[in-house]
């Protein structure tokens, strides 16, 4: 009887990795962006300042026994002290409690305006860029028409008529005039994405247009939307402060940073604590938002950071280097002669 023709193959030894000491870990786009953001000192500083401001705004009322509307008639226009940390105003109200309340209201308005305006801009811009045709023409005409209106004057006219609707109506007014520029950018990005292979494949497979926009278009413009929404928070807080300063925003007895600036501006030379605490927090918040926005832009789009560095004018080091190179070339020509 013949031996079986099959032979057992010896198992091959597993191959060792090329660099076992330093394995390559796959990193996704978000992880790379987080690593770039963590390497940015300016962005980390801005995030730390924003965290402290949010903590102060929402935990600050628990740190003081005074209510922002409660008067202390025994301490009128008193400077900062152990009892009233930021002093008092002409009605004896605690300026620290009012500043914390104003910061809280301004941050809430800024966040809501940024979310609403960015969401509306994403919807309008993506639909205009994806569908094209009469939809694009109609939505583009609407965007151009909204850009014509002077937002400050329109809000100033409509705000007194909506006085009984509360500050939510003011948020809707601000959001309604802060989405047009973002929508135009999203439309341009969507028009370029519409011809990409993955979007065309989704259309050929019968995926609906709105599902395609949600699953394939908006994720590819999310980096721009994140940066834009971050910067929009600072812009909305500045707009709220400006409108409330002129009496078209938050209404008494409620307070915001804008109403505090308006109330303390006239008395700032004599009673500076009525103005400068609110002004300092506003400036600090806007600077922190800009730092975080720049850091997010560099983290999510590294080419933008490279373009900004390449556009910087050459400094003194470059000019000294060019003079040194010319001097070196002249010395070489002299030595050759």
Indicate the domain borders of the chain. Answer: 100-302
Report helix, strand or coil for 127.
helix
* Helix ranges (DSSP H) in the chain: 29-38, 41-59, 95-131, 133-148, 151-158, 167-176, 180-194, 197-204, 209-212, 222-245, 257-265, 273-300, 302-310, 316-336
Task: Give the predicted TM-score (pTM) of the model.
Answer: 0.77
pLDDT in tens, the chain (337 residues): 444 444 444 444 444 444 433 333 335 677 887 888 888 899 999 999 999 999 999 998 898 889 998 888 888 888 998 889 999 998 889 999 999 999 999 999 999 999 999 999 999 999 999 999 999 999 999 999 999 988 888 888 888 787 767 788 889 999 999 999 999 999 999 999 998 998 889 888 988 999 999 999 998 898 899 999 999 999 999 999 999 888 888 887 889 999 999 989 888 899 999 999 999 999 999 999 999 998 888 888 765 555 555 555 544 444 444 444 454 445 445 544 4
What pLDDT sits at residue 74? 85
Task: Give the CATH number of domain 100-302.
Answer: 1.10.3720.10
Angle at which helix 167-176 crosses helix 95-131, to 10 degrees, equals: 40
Helix (H) or strand (E) holding 138: helix 133-148
Token pair for 103 = 């910061």
Rounded to whole angstroms, how far apart are CA atoms 259 and 182? 29
What pLDDT sits at residue 311? 53
């Amino acid at each position: 009887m013949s031996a079986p023709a099959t032979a057992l193959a010896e198992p091959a030894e597993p191959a060792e990795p090329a660099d076992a000491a330093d394995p390559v870990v796959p990193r996704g786009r978000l992880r790379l962006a987080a690593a770039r953001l963590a390497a940015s000192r300016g962005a980390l500083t801005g995030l730390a300042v924003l965290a402290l401001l949010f903590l102060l705004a929402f935990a600050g009322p628990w740190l003081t026994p005074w209510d922002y509307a409660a008067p202390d008639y025994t301490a009128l226009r008193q400077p900062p002290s152990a009892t009233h940390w930021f002093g008092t105003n002409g009605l004896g109200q605690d300026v620290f409690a009012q500043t914390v309340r104003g910061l809280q209201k301004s941050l809430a308005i800024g966040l809501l305006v940024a979310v609403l305006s960015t969401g509306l801009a994403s919807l309008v811009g993506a639909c205009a860029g994806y569908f094209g045709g009469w939809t694009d023409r109609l939505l583009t005409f609407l965007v151009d028409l909204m850009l014509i209106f002077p937002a400050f004057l329109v809000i100033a006219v409509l705000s007194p008529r909506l006085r009984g609707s509360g500050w939510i109506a003011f948020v809707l007014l601000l959001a309604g005039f802060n989405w047009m520029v973002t929508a135009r950018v999203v439309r341009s990005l969507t028009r370029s994405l519409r011809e990409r292979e993955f979007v065309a494949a989704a259309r050929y497979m019968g995926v609906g247009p709105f599902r395609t926009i949600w699953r394939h278009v908006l994720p590819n413009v999310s980096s721009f939307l994140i940066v834009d929404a971050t910067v929009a928070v600072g812009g909305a807080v500045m707009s709220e402060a400006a409108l409330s300063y002129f009496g078209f925003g938050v209404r008494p007895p409620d307070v915001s940073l804008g109403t505090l600036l308006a109330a303390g501006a006239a008395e700032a030379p004599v009673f500076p604590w009525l103005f400068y605490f609110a002004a300092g927090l506003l400036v600090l918040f806007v600077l922190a938002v800009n730092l975080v926005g720049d850091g997010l832009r560099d983290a999510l789009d590294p080419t933008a950071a490279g373009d900004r560095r390449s556009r910087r004018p050459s400094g003194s080091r470059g000019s000294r280097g060019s003079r040194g190179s010319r001097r070196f070339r002249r010395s070489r020509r002299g030595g050759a002669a």
